[in-house]
């Protein structure tokens, strides 16, 4: 798709929308930006495009859809939003910022989606390619818009994108060479309505791929494994429980890669730096993608032995008065926080709660009851719901906090030397913060500001 000379409306002026507007202007398009917020409210966000001759339709200003050739939308805007409904009714083509960047980039594209593990796996894959000596761009839902670097990405470089279900709502030609489906658990039902629709959106990552491309599927996740029956590309698998015929698996403390009937040992699983069963799955998935893309096994092995994980995912912040504080702000859904709770090996005070995604907290509560967590401090919009669910499963050691700072202070008061305080909310952050990253940073700041008693 060529954008030069096109009249394009870019909707949503968060990071991806601003990046798209700048990129499209540089591609030679006539750009108009739209957002419900006013220019004054968006002042800092608009700084990267402040000096560009871009038209503005801010503060909810009406636009004539017939004046445009294309609408590029940010992933945070649902298809049910009035502006997108109006565009569709006017027959105006709609694509997402992800699609826009993928069309402009010349670099081979590798993509990762699923419910949990996306950011860790994406970052790991990026490190593997970098260690092979490739210029590599980490983009997408990981926090860096693909349009911010699409025009720079060359044919002999690599584009690795974390892809969300929100971004996949608007794909039309999006075509990775290898794509990973990490897992599927309940999430984002407030946007997609049903699990069936959520799964359908996730599967869209494969719809433009061909038999020459590979889909790396979680063989231990029934929903993911079943996708092999109807996707258009070649299915490969990763598993920590059984052998696979194409892909990676773990067995007896060793990791293997299988292709064309040949099985090769990659490494001993004990040498993988990032701990836990969930990280073994992330390592298997990343290794499968990399080796299917032609990365040599020694490069994969070296990266898995040295890669230290990502910020906000079971990240040790500091030990204060003998208590270790752990930031898992990236635990934005039940399954992610279940994994974090499961990783605790000593007595733990858990901070949980946030904005509502309309998810069932029962699996979370059941995991807490049988874990090392002895007290839960609930907060946010979902605090009462989590408390009610915990009581239903027979877990009664619950404290309530009105503010985030209050929650951290309450946890500090309760935790004893040798124990952990774990922030793993099982919820999004939008009731108190702009995103999970801000929530994690605030948590770390509060912990780093603590004075030893």
At what angle are helices 404-414 and 436-448 packed, to 10 degrees?
50
DSSP string, 28-59: T-EEEEEESS-TTTTTTTTGGGTTS--EEEET
3-state SS assignment for residue 403: coil
Element (H, E) at 139: strand 136-140
The alpha carbon torsion through 52, 53, 55, 59 (nearest 10 deg) reads: 40
d(CA 429, CA 328) in angstroms, rounded, equals 12
Distance (Å, rounded) from C-alpha 162 to C-alpha 120?
10
- If you write DSSP's letter for every residue of 364-381 in order, what string do you get? HHHHHHTSSEEEEEE-ST
Q: What secondary structure does DSSP assign to 244-255, as a single string? A: -SSEEEEETTEE
Vertex 216: Cα angle to 210 and 220 (nearest 5): 140
Query: CB of 162 within 8 A of CB of 119?
Result: yes
DSSP code at position 106: -
The vertex-124 CA angle with 119 and 126, nearest 5°, equals 95
DSSP state of 293: T
Separation between Cα atoms, residue 126 and residue 129, nearest integer Å: 5
Coil, strand, or helix at residue 5? coil
Give the span between the Cα atoms of 185 and 281, in whole angstroms: 15
Which residues are tagged catalytic? 118, 141, 188
């Amino acid at each position: 798709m060529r954008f030069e000379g096109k009249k394009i409306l870019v909707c949503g002026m968060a990071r991806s929308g601003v990046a798209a507007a700048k990129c499209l202007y540089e591609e030679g398009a006539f750009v108009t930006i739209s957002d419900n917020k006013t220019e004054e409210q968006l002042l800092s966000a608009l700084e990267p495009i402040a000096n560009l001759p871009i038209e503005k339709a801010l503060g909810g200003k009406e636009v004539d859809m017939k004046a445009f050739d294309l609408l590029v939308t940010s992933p945070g805007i649902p298809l049910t939003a009035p502006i997108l409904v109006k565009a569709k009714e006017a027959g105006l083509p709609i694509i997402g910022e992800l699609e826009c960047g993928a069309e402009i980039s010349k670099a081979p594209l590798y993509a990762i989606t699923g419910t949990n593990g996306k950011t860790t796996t994406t970052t790991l894959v990026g490190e593997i390619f970098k260690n092979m000596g490739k210029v590599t761009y980490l983009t997408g839902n990981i926090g860096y818009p693909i349009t911010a670097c699409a025009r720079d990405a060359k044919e002999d470089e690599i584009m690795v994108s974390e892809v969300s279900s929100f971004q996949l709502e608007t794909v039309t030609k999006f075509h990775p060479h290898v794509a990973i489906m990490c897992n599927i658990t309940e999430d984002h039902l407030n946007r997609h309505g049903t699990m069936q629709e959520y799964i359908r959106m996730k599967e869209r990552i494969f719809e433009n791929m061909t038999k020459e491309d590979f889909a790396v599927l979680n063989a231990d996740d029934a929903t993911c494994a079943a996708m092999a029956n109807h996707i258009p590309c070649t299915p490969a698998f990763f598993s920590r429980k059984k052998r696979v015929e194409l892909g990676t698996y773990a067995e007896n403390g060793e990791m293997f890669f299988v292709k064309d009937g040949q099985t090769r040992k990659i490494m001993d699983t004990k040498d993988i730096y990032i701990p836990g069963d969930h990280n073994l799955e992330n390592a298997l998935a990343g290794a499968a993608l990399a080796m299917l893309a032609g990365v040599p096994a020694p490069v994969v092995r070296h990266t898995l032995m040295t890669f230290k994980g990502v910020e906000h995912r079971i990240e040790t912040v500091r030990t204060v008065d003998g208590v270790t504080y752990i930031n898992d702000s990236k635990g934005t859904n039940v399954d992610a926080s279940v994994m974090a709770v499961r990783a605790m090996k000593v007595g733990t005070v858990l901070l949980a709660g946030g904005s509502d995604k309309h998810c069932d907290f029962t699996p979370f509560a059941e995991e807490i009851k049988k874990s090392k967590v002895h007290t839960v401090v609930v907060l946010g919009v979902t605090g009462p719901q989590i408390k009610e669910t915990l009581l239903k499963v027979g877990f009664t050691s619950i404290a309530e906090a009105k503010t985030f700072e209050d929650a951290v202070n309450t946890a500090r008061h309760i935790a004893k030397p040798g124990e952990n305080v774990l922030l793993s909310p099982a919820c999004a952050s939008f009731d108190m913060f702009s995103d999970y990253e801000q929530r994690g940073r605030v948590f770390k700041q509060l912990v780093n500001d603590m004075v030893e008693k």
